[in-house]
Structure 1
Amino acid sequence: MNLTRAEARERAELINVDSYDVILDLTKGGKVFGTTTTVKFTAVPGSASFIDAVTHTVHSVTLNGRALDPQSVSDGIRIQLPGLAEFNELTVVADAPYMNTGEGLHRFVDPVDNEVYLYTQFEVPDSRRMFAVFEQPDLKGTFRFTVTAPSHWDVISNSPTPAPVEATPGDDGGARSVWTFAATPRLS
């Protein structure tokens, strides 16, 4: 379900985004990846809105320290946010599906070297397929990404790539590392 012009206008009147802290776990196998998003934003006190998140499973939704029932607030495309405060912190823990259509986080296994390759182009409206986001161009925030992936992978973005830090082995015993990227500037 795409955002309508009326929904975008209404949400822009209610919300201002400060920042997104996105944690991705790319070691969960070939079907889904883990995605944890913490969003800080302001809102008209007492209002309700939603955040975009195309998910396979939502494990938890916490709004201002209050746990919301994922089955009640998420339909797999949007997460409803009732009773917003002036200053809000939202954390969504979910699994999202890998795509093989070029949308969201595209996953490809090369038949020649049998290695896994992931990429995203974040064409509108595809960031919601990777993390919870107020996905409309007039609601801008900074982004900080932390990525857990197999240690032999290269994890890069369009900002400087940090040195990976070794992490505890995954459930399969495979070596994992964590890349923590610096926060982006607010894009204009």
Structure 2
Amino acid sequence: MPRVTRIDRSDAFAAIESIISRGEAPTHINVRAELGQRGSPPVISNFIGSWFACYGPSLLERAPTEGGQPAVSTPPTLGATSDGGTIAALTAAALMEIQRSAAAREEAHQRTIDAAKQELAQQQQALHEQIKAFELQQQGSKEHIDRCYSDRDAALQERDRALADAANLRQALGESKAQLAMMQRQLEQLGDLAARISRLETKS
């Protein structure tokens, strides 16, 4: 299978930005190496020129000069990429921009993490409060159940005492009936005895 040597704009720009992110100035040599030795020097030089033409104006305004002031110049063109000073300044500015963007992304990512941590802490606090409320409710339910069992036990004990008292009363009643029957028999016997005595007295 023949080796693919054709490169497009996105490939070339990605290679250039990768080189700049390492703090190096993009040249057709290191860009071609970044692309896996694909692309001819003229084609790669054209892409480098296009990249600087696209991003050079804004980067050049932020590029530091020897006097510490931003450089103001016309946008670099393909022919200007041979200017070592301009490329170095643009590379430094591009690197600073890449680092600034990376720092901004990292800061935004950290804010997202912090917000997620805060939300998680709030959810954990809410869950803790729900668990505490449930435990209190459970404790109240347990105390209520214990009181119900205690009342039931007291009622059962009272019932047992009432049943025992009723049994004692039935026994006492039975004993009283037996005594009454015996007293009635004794009374009848005394009545019979009195009648015989009366008859004997009459005869005499």
TM-score, normalized by length of structure 1? 0.19
The structure carrying a bigger helix percent of its residues is 2
TM-score, normalized by length of structure 2? 0.18
Q: Which has the higher contact order (CA 8 A, sep 6+)?
A: 1
Rg larger in 1 or in 2? Answer: 2
